Amino acid sequence: MMKERVIFVTNDDGYSAKGFAAAIEVARRFGKVIAVAPEVVQSGKSQAITIYDMLRARLISQSEDVTIYALNGTPVDCVKFALDHLLADQKVDLAISGVNHGPNSGSNVLYSGTMGAAIESSFYGIPSIGLSNLDDNSDADFTACIEYGVAIAQRVLESDLPRPLALNVNIPKLPTEQIKGIKVCRQTRGFWRDHFHKHTDPHGRDYYWLTGGFVNFEPEAEESDEWALANGYVAVVPVQVDLTAYNQLDILRRTL
């Protein structure tokens, strides 16, 4: 008999998020699920780790198929706690991070806790899928996310893709039947530009709220993930972990 697969699940919205339940629903189709998610929302935490604080783990629920822990750390802390501690002696077949409430397309990938965890998981040689729903509502509909999540996970598990493998998968805010299919893309060029909203507290002291929006430098680029999403496709971008700008090496060698 084939040994049952082990699937690791995490997210950045915290263990009680609706999208986390959706990711577990994807994962349990393929094997036994071990899930470790942050106690509280960790959106925008990128690949942050906790160095100067202690971490506490709490068992949320346990059944034959699904075990869930909450950890008072970042998404990457959850990955490390799962893969270097809880599951250190086990083969893990797949990692799923999400489903995030809100997009992680374009340069969002750099700030995303969901993708921080997906990238971190890929360091362990485990194929890793970050799933994000363009609908950031806490009660968003995850039907299409589950359907496409299952399809992509199935193909990743059945193929022998190169490692490290970390896929940034974004799903449009559309009913499943209106989605045109999967498009493998590159990260859209563009950056966030931000505003600081100044408020004053009752004691007369100023404080700020950081807000902003993504500025797309190439809205017409059909190979970009933003274009795919705007045109009704599920966007899949493979993410790399070697940040070297190879095309700048020569000019830097001549300059420095």
Q: Which residues from 28-57 bind a copy of itself, rule CB under 8 A?
A: 41, 43-52, 54-57
Q: Is 50 helix (H, G, I), strand (E, B) or coil?
A: coil
Q: Is 230 helix (H, G, I), strand (E, B) or coil?
A: helix
Q: How far is the CB of 23 from a copy of itself (least distance, A)?
A: 18
d(CA 180, CA 53): 45
10 Å CB burial of residue 37 (0-12, 13-18, 19+) is buried
Q: Which of residues 11-30 bind a copy of itself (CB under 8 A)?
A: none
Using CB under 8 A, which of 18, 67, 87, 111 touches a copy of itself? 111
Using CB under 8 A, which of 98, 116, 130, 172 touches a copy of itself? 116
d(CA 152, CA 62): 26
Using CB under 8 A, which of 2, 3, 203, 205 touches a copy of itself? 205
**Of the ranges 22-30, 31-39, 90-98, 109-117, which one interacts with a copy of itself (CB under 8 A)?**
109-117
Nearer to a copy of itself by C-beta: 95 or 236?
A: 236
Using CB under 8 A as the binding criterion, the count of chain residues that bind a copy of itself stands at: 78
CB neighbours (10 Å) of residue 197?
A: 9
Residue with tokens 């020569």: 250
Using CB under 8 A, which of 14, 60, 66, 123 touches a copy of itself? 123
Q: Is 7 helix (H, G, I), strand (E, B) or coil?
A: strand
Closest C-alpha among 228, 243, 15 to residue 103: 228
Classify the phi-psi angles of 62: left when phi > 0, otherwise alpha if psi is within -120 to 50, otherwise beta: beta
Does the protein bind a copy of itself through residue 245 (CB under 8 A)?
Answer: yes
x/- letters, 150..189, toward a copy of itself (CB under 8 A): --x--xx--x-xx--x-xx-------------x-x-xx-x
